[in-house]
């Protein structure tokens, strides 16, 4: 993968129309963990579908056949980018909806005597429905808890909970508060060693890197495309035969179709057809940075991930240091990754010691920092690190299209709002 040493932000930003809009001038977008800007390729593909092929897909007439072909292409391109088989890629309305259906399906095969492990680091989407399912079928629920001081999940916590009765383990690839990438490959292997199935919530990781899901080995890997510069859909990889093991949740007549068994809602044709366009952006970036246009999509995704993460690491370090050194705030999550093989995603949450998070967020917004405050649907995690979930945290989150001038604006706004 011969690719440039650093990301060219002028190339990156030329693919995002939002940066040219008057409404965004003089401000910096720091709420990317809530949802990213869409790249031009995504917007064009959606527009094209609605303009040219907005008909029932998969019939023989021209526009219909084209609509179906675009939907198939999204699926196969995402499969290539994630290193998995085409029939392992499923699209659903959202990650919350996908996990809800998964929990319902697991509820039909689990019962008393079975054990399920969830974490308190997860966003509610990857834990609430599973907890309710375990309770309703009489399975034993085990909670793998974060370290109170750091918010980090430690692998030995999982080892203590795993046993031959464990049937399902759910954890995040990265928390939407703590920002630290978890060693998903290692934890998946530990769960598989006792015969358990593994669901990994990749929502907070995928905007920062497109993983090789086959190499990771997870049985289910989920993320939300609307946070990955794409459309408002949830993408779910279902691997290792789990689609056949779980009872069909779709229409009865679709029971034999892998792509329908765990996604009962009819597909959003336009969004599915446009879902693959973000990979054209990934390819364009790869080539613009010296990569070979003929490289596989998997190699392109890996090369671009390295560029994104190197850039993000350069920008996150000064912000983490500033917050860590400031007596008036508590940084939630590690200031830097102990294990350098794991990315410290630039999702940075903190609590001001003497001010309300709402007031600090308002102060930042007044200074051109588009950010938010609250529990970000991770109330269990906040309680797990002794933060009042009702007042919550301030969160600033960014991605690879954020540049040094945004970070300068953020540091200035933090200084003004919180003092030295």
Binding site for ligand PLP (CB under 6 A): 94-96, 123, 125-126, 172, 176, 201, 203-204, 224, 234
Measured from the CB atom, the residue of 167 and 395 that comes closer to ligand PLP is: 395
* 219 membership: H or E segment, kind and range: none
CB of 112 to ligand PLP, least distance (A): 29
- Residue indicated by tokens 């007439």: 61
Q: Which is nearer to ligand PLP, 68 or 209 (CB)?
A: 209
Q: At its nearest, how many Å lie between ligand PLP and the CB of residue 159?
A: 24
What span, in angstroms and rounded, lies between the C-alpha atoms of 218 and 184? 8
Closest approach, Cβ 385 to ligand PLP, in A, equals 16
- Token pair for 280: 């054209």
Comparison of 110 and 235: residue with beta carbon closer to ligand PLP? 235
Closest CA to 45 of 206, 266, 208, 280: 280
C-beta neighbour count of 146 within 10 angstroms: 23
As given in the structure block, the two tokens for residue 122 are 């997860």
d(CA 25, CA 27): 5
Beta pairing class for 393-397 and 166-172: unpaired
CB 64 within 8 A of CB 53: yes
- Shortest distance (Å) from residue 354 CB to ligand PLP: 28
CA distance 95 to 200: 11
For ligand PLP, the closer of residues 209 and 234 by Cβ is 234
Compute the least distance from the CB of residue 224 to ligand PLP, in Å: 4
Cα torsion at 93, 19, 401, 233 (round to 10°)?
0
The least distance separating ligand PLP from the CB of residue 182, rounded to whole angstroms, comes to: 11
207: closest CA among 10, 347, 12, 314?
347
Contact partners, residue 247, CB within 8 Å, separation at least 6: 105, 108, 109
C-beta closer to ligand PLP: residue 15 or 123: 123
Whose Cβ is closer to ligand PLP: residue 97's or residue 285's? 97
Nearer to ligand PLP, 35 or 412 (CB): 35
Minimum CB distance to ligand PLP, residue 291 (Å): 29
């Amino acid at each position: 993968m011969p690719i440039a040493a650093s990301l060219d932000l002028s190339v990156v930003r030329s693919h995002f129309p939002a940066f040219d809009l008057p409404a965004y001038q003089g401000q910096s977008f720091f709420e990317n963990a809530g949802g990213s800007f869409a790249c031009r390729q995504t917007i064009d593909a959606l527009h094209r579908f609605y303009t040219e092929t907005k008909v029932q897909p998969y019939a023989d007439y021209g526009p219909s056949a084209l609509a179906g072909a675009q939907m198939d292409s999204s699926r196969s391109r995402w499969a290539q980018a994630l290193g998995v088989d085409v029939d392992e890629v499923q699209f659903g309305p959202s990650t919350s909806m996908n996990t809800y259906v998964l929990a319902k399906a697991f509820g039909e095969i689990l019962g008393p005597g079975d054990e399920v492990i969830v974490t308190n680091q997860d966003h509610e989407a990857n834990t609430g429905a599973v907890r309710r399912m375990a309770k309703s079928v009489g399975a034993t629920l085990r909670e793998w808890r974060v370290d109170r001081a750091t918010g980090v999940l430690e692998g030995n916590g999982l080892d203590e909970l795993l046993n031959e009765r464990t049937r399902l383990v759910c954890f995040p690839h990265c928390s939407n508060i703590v920002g630290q990438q978890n060693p998903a490959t290692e934890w998946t292997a530990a769960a598989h060693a006792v015969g358990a199935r593994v669901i990994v919530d990749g929502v907070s990781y995928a905007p920062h890197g497109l993983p090789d899901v086959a190499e990771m080995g997870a049985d289910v890997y989920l993320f939300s495309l609307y946070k990955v510069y794409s459309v408002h859909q949830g993408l779910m990889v279902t691997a290792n035969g789990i689609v056949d093991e779980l009872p069909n949740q779709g229409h009865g007549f679709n029971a034999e179709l892998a792509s329908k068994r765990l996604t009962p809602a009819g597909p959003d044709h336009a969004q599915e057809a446009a879902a693959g366009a973000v990979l054209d952006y990934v390819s364009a970036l790869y080539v613009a940075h010296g990569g070979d246009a003929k490289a596989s999509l998997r190699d392109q995704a890996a090369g671009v991930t390295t560029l994104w993460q190197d850039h993000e690491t350069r920008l996150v370090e000064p912000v983490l240091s500033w917050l860590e050194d400031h007596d008036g705030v508590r940084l939630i999550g590690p200031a830097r990754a102990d294990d350098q093989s794991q990315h410290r995603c630039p999702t940075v949450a903190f609590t001001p010691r003497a001010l309300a998070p709402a007031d600090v967020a308002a102060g930042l917004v007044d200074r051109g920092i588009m950010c938010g405050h609250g529990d970000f649907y991770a109330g269990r995690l906040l309680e797990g690190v002794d933060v009042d979930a009702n007042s919550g945290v301030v969160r600033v989150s960014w991605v690879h299209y954020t540049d040094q001038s945004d970070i300068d604006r953020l540091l200035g706004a933090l200084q003004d709002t919180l003092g030295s």
